[in-house]
């Protein structure tokens, strides 16, 4: 009889994802012993740790789903028999999710897989830089778990994996994350954006300090001036590095060749065809079935209220963006931003139709449950990442667009917010020394009119305009006190919805976990 300790399937899956350096899509049947878990050298383990971010962070069904599909920026309507998925998308939008929601469950499992895998790497004598990168990735995944679930599971390197993981909650978890980032920052490389780097650490610290009061009291956060000054200090360090600037077109930061032309990008996940995460889903999910050669899934849209935040001249609302190897787009039709109205073939400029032959006219009006004859065309479609047409032509799941996590505009907007919340104003770069000046620098670059005054509500709207589709909307709405408010298809929701539940499958097997209140 083998008395070796048994490892849970989810943990083994996470370890295998890291040690093999690739995503494993199959669910393991049965269990493995400790002796059967594959081992690798630290360099291979670190490559795997980077790759293990792909599904939860690049895709549209994990972190993005929880951070965007629960807000006004993204709606996932059920279109007749399509996109019902047992109601999991409707639960996110109208805030009726349960501990058994698939999106809630899988995101928790995937992020904790990163945490445990990066911890396990530390047992294998990594170099100083490898250790710093691994600990940063662990801090980043831990931050996302804190933001979404408030409870961060952890183990020490080499700890008995058959024992239930321990946890840190709220402010305790945040303080640990901050201490980890501070401990490793000096040992991180200066770049490139595709690796954990010093400026990525600064931006993550900005997120920590800006949201510190939120994690202490999500329903009624306060913002200490000392924390806001830290946000400004860190922002100035990033700005004064001189490494980042506005690109000629904001969509350059998301283009198939954004490794080369994405001047704002601070921290990304590098993708190449044949070695990429699911970033292509950002155009596949929203495009209609007949929008060839994309051949989309005709799913998500944005709400009419969110689209109304944009001025007509704002390039972020939509533009005709040229990509290498893309169709000619003779009519100069909008192909990034928000697709609204009659849609066209980008090669011939012929008007497109639905599968039933009706004109394919994307409308602002959209509901969670669509049953009418025009259900295929309901909803404006947001596309942040320009389509990588050469990769689409090759088939498969690859793309060249690096997935963007942190970039300059977010740094500037966080600095402006910190100043509005009490930080001492400073000047850095050419962006001005007041919150108003900083925001107007961004707006002017994007083709929007300058503000004469700036309020917190206006700043939240500006963050929405600039950062839609980048997995920050829920966090922003909570910090600004707007997440629980009523909107179309969603009534006012109770405060316990500011945190997602711990998946019931985790509560059932870990005696250290107490379910979040309200669930």
The string of pLDDT tens digits covering residues 433-488 is 999 999 999 999 999 999 999 999 999 999 999 999 999 999 999 999 999 999 99
Q: What percent of the chain shows pLDDT beyond 70?
A: 92
Task: Compute φ and ψ for 178, nearest 5 degrees.
Answer: -60, -45
Chain-centre distance for alpha carbon 162: 31
Q: pTM for this structure?
A: 0.92
CB 403 within 8 A of CB 268: yes
Q: What is the mean pLDDT of residues 60-69?
A: 97
pLDDT band at 69; cut points 50, 70, 90:
very high
Inform me whether the pLDDT recorded for 1 exceeds 60.
no
CB 381 within 8 A of CB 303: no
Report pLDDT digits (tens) over 85-95. Answer: 999 999 999 99
Please give the pLDDT value at position 292: 85
Dihedral sign from CA coordinates of 11, 25, 406, 19: positive
* Across 366-370, average pLDDT: 93
Residue with the bigger pLDDT between 8 and 426: it is: 426
What size, in residues, is the chain?
Answer: 519
Q: Answer yes or no: is pLDDT of 28 > 90.
A: no
Q: What is the DSSP string of 200-248?
A: HHHHHHHHHHHTHHHHH-SSS----HHHHHHHHHHHHHHHHT------S
Chain position carrying tokens 């996932």: 76
pLDDT at residue 39, as a whole number: 61
Over range 9-13, report the average pLDDT. Answer: 38
Cβ atoms < 10 Å from Cβ of 288: 23
> Is pLDDT above 50 for 361?
yes
Give the residue, 175 or 293, on which the prediction is more confident: 175
CATH 1.25.40.390 is the classification of domain 42-266+410-509: yes
pLDDT one-digit tens code per residue, 94-149: 999 999 999 999 999 999 999 999 999 999 999 999 999 999 999 999 999 999 99
How does pLDDT run across 154-182, given as a tens digit for each residue?
999 988 888 999 999 999 999 999 999 99
- The ranges assigned to domains in the chain are 42-266+410-509
Taking a C-beta distance cutoff of 8 angstroms, is the pair 278, 397 a contact? yes
Distances, alpha carbon 245 to alpha carbons 33, 197, 255, 407, in Å? 51, 18, 16, 10
pLDDT at 3 over 90: no
Give the mean model confidence (pLDDT) for residues 249-278: 96
Lowest mean pLDDT among 21-25, 60-64, 241-245, 247-251: 21-25
Ramachandran area for residue 419 (φ above 0: left; ψ -120 to 50: alpha; else beta): alpha
Q: Provide the pLDDT for residue 32.
A: 36
Using an 8 Å Cβ cutoff, are 406 and 267 in contact?
Answer: yes
170: Cα separation from own chain's centroid: 21
pLDDT higher than 60, residue 313: yes
Of all residues in the chain, the percent with pLDDT exceeding 90 is 88
A 10 A CB-CB count for 249 gives: 18
Residue among 218, 210, 255 nearest 235 (CA): 210
Give whole-number Cα distances, 151 to 110, 208, 500, 503, in Å.
15, 15, 10, 11
- Provide the β-strand partners of residue 79: 82, 370
Contacts of 17 (CB under 8 A, 6+ apart): 23, 24, 48, 51, 52, 113, 117
pLDDT of residue 268: 98
Question: What mean pLDDT value characterizes the chain?
Answer: 92
Give the contacts of 81 (CB within 8 A, at least 6 positions apart): none
Q: Which residue has the tokens 């019902």?
A: 84
DSSP string, 407-473: EHHHHHHHHHHHHHTTPPP---TTS-SSHHHHHHHHHHHTTPPPPSS--HHHHHHHHHHHHTTSS-H
CA 204 vs. chain centroid, Å, equals 13
In this prediction, residues 413-420 reach a mean pLDDT of 99
- Is residue 35 over pLDDT 70? no
Pick the closest to residue 417 from 436, 444, 443 (CA basis). 436
Look-up of token digits 């806001």: 228
Q: Are strands 166-169 and 265-269 parallel, antiparallel or unpaired?
A: unpaired
Phi first, then psi, for residue 129 (nearest 5°) are -70, -40
Per-residue pLDDT for 25 more than 70? Answer: no
**Of 206, 197, 149, whose CA–CA distance to 173 is shortest?**
149
- Cβ atoms of 133 and 192 within 8 Å: the answer is no
């Amino acid at each position: 009889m083998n008395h070796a300790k048994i490892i849970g399937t989810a943990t083994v899956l996470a370890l295998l994802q890291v040690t093999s350096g690739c995503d494993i899509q199959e669910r393991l049947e049965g269990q493995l012993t400790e002796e059967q878990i594959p081992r690798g050298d630290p360099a291979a383990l670190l490559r795997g740790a980077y790759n293990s971010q792909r599904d939860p962070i690049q895709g549209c069904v994990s972190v993005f789903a929880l951070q965007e599909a629960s807000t006004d920026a993204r709606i996932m309507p059920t279109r007749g028999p399509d996109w019902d998925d047992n109601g999991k998308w409707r639960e996110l939008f109208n805030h009726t999710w349960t501990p058994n929601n698939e999106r809630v469950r899988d995101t928790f499992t995937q992020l904790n897989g990163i945490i445990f895998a990066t911890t396990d790497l530390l047992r294998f004598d990594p170099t100083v830089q490898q250790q710093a990168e691994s600990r940063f990735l662990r801090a980043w995944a831990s931050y996302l778990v804190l933001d979404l679930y408030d409870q961060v599971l952890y183990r020490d390197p080499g700890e008995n994996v058959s024992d239930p993981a321990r946890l840190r909650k709220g402010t305790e978890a945040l303080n640990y994350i901050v201490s980890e980032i501070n401990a490793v920052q000096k040992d991180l490389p200066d770049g490139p954006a595709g690796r954990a780097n010093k400026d990525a650490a600064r931006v993550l610290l900005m997120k920590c300090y800006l949201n510190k009061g939120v994690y202490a009291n999500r329903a009624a956060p306060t913002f200490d001036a000392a924390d806001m000054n830290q946000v400004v200090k860190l922002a100035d360090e990033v700005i004064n590095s001189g490494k980042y600037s506005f690109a000629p077109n904001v969509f350059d930061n998301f283009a198939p060749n954004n490794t080369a032309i994405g001047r704002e990008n601070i921290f990304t996940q590098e993708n190449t065809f044949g070695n990429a995460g699911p970033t292509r889903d950002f155009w596949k999910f929203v495009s209609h079935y007949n929008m060839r050669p994309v051949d989309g899934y005709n799913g998500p849209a944005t709400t009419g209220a969110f689209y109304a935040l944009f001025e007509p001249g704002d390039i972020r609302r939509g533009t005709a963006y040229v990509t290498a190897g893309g169709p000619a787009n003779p009519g100069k039709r909008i192909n990034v931003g928000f697709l609204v109205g009659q849609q066209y073939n980008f090669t011939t400029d012929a008007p497109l139709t639905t599968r039933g032959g009706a004109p394919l006219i994307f409308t602002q009006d959209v509901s969670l449950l669509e049953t009418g004859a025009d259900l295929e065309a309901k909803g404006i479609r947001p596309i942040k990442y320009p389509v990588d047409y050469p990769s689409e032509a090759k088939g498969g799941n690859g793309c060249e667009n690096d997935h963007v996590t942190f970039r300059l505009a977010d740094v500037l907007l966080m600095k402006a917010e910190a100043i509005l919340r009490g930080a001492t104003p400073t000047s850095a770069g050419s962006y001005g020394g007041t919150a108003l000046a900083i925001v107007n620098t961004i707006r002017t670059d994007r083709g929007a009119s300058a503000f004469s005054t700036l309020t917190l509500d206006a700043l939240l709207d500006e963050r929405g305009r600039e950062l839609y589709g980048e997995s920050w909307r829920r966090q922003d709405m909570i910090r600004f006190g707007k997440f629980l408010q009523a909107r179309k298809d969603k009534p006012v929701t109770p405060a316990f919805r500011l945190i997602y539940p711990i998946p019931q499958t985790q509560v059932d097997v870990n005696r250290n976990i107490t379910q979040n209140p309200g669930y």
